[in-house]
Amino acid sequence: MLAPAAAGFGSYAAVGDSFTEGVGDPGPGEAFVGWADRLAGLLAGRRAEGGPPGAFRYANLAVRGRLLDRIIDEQVPRAVTLAPDLVTFCAGGNDILRPGSDPDALAERFEGAVADLRAVVGTVLVCTGFDTRGVPVLGLLRGKIATYNAHIRAVADRYGCPVLDLWSLRSIHDRRAWSEDRLHLSSAGHARVALRAAQVLGIETPSDPDLPWPPEPLRLPAQVRKDNLHWAREYLVPWIGRRLRGESSGDDVLPKRPELLPLEPARLESCR
């Protein structure tokens, strides 16, 4: 489902975890940018060019590592209070990664949050999970992710929500769309997702987010093995350790933009 053309959006609040916080897309200082910030900049530009008078306002409530229940308890009520014109709600991925998680039960809680948001927000954009086909370790969860995605689409149909379908975005299967940890998108990957989100909202974009990547040099098998070993040592093992200890990378992290503050316009770059 496509949303109406977004020139009329005067405010936007992003709700979610590390994906929406923008981890993997470095910004000034220790902050991250990410697809939601990039989308907000474009929406601010459309507001300035052809929308109603008044500054565009943006809040990003997302925090890395957050599970669905904590997002629902902390971020969703805040978004309801802010009552912006647009909310993006992407949550549940960290739960799916945990052993024993039930995508059916997660979807029930997800739907309750969507109902709360839709009661006060005109447009709530929801996100599917990524297709993890061919991804070490995470590929084993592909069936659970697909089940959760089917629920998200059903919820979107029931509540009239546009869907940012990450499963169908083929360009992010390229390794250049991912940061070195292989768990978070790179800057280029976040840019592709921002372009797709803009398309879903009915905005013309400078290029197709599924545009093929430029050719890259062929990597020898020995280099691939070396890279995989480095990744496992530097990222996979610590990630598993945090899960076993019940720790989160976002335990001491606060939302980077908790208020609806004015935002300067920005452009979405082309994929070329």
Q: CA-CA distances (angstroms) from residue 113 to 101, 121, 134, 174?
A: 18, 12, 32, 32
Residue 227 lies in a domain: no
Strand partners, 16: 90
Among 62-66, 112-116, 180-184, the minimum mean pLDDT is found in 180-184
Q: Residue 52 pLDDT > 70, yes or no?
A: no
Characterize 125-136 residue by residue with b for buried, 16 or more Cβ atoms within 10 angstroms of its Cβ, and e for exposed. Answer: bbbbbbbbeebe
* CATH at 202: 3.40.50.1110
Position 233 in a domain? no
Pick 225 or 107 by higher pLDDT. 107
Contact 161, 151 (CB under 8 A): no
In a domain, 245, yes or no: no
Residue 2 has pLDDT above 50, yes or no: no
Reference 59, options 43, 73, 79, 44; nearest CA is 79
123-127 and 163-164 as β-strands: parallel, antiparallel, unpaired?
parallel
User: Mean pLDDT over residues 2-13, rounded?
Assistant: 72
Identify whether 240 is part of a domain. Answer: no
Residue 200: inside a domain = yes
Q: Which domain holds residue 209?
A: 6-215+253-262
Question: Residues 16-51: pLDDT tens digits?
Answer: 999 999 999 999 888 899 999 999 999 998 887 766
Cα pseudo-dihedral 69, 71, 76, 78, rounded to 10 = 130
In this prediction, what percent of the chain has a pLDDT beyond 90? 65
3-state helix, strand, coil in the chain (%, to 5): 45, 10, 40
Q: Which of 11-15, 90-94, 241-245 has the lowest mean pLDDT?
A: 241-245
- What pLDDT does residue 128 have? 97
Q: Does any domain span residue 113?
A: yes
pTM given for the model:
0.91
Q: How many domains does the chain have?
A: 1
Cα separation, 20 vs 29, in Å, equals: 18
Per-residue pLDDT tens over the stretch 147-170: 999 999 999 999 999 999 999 999
Q: Which residue has the tokens 């372009």?
A: 195
Q: Is residue 55 part of a domain?
A: yes
Distance CA 10, CA 102 (A): 37
Instruction: Give the pair of three-digit tokens for residue 100.
Output: 């024993």
Query: 226 lies in a domain?
Result: no
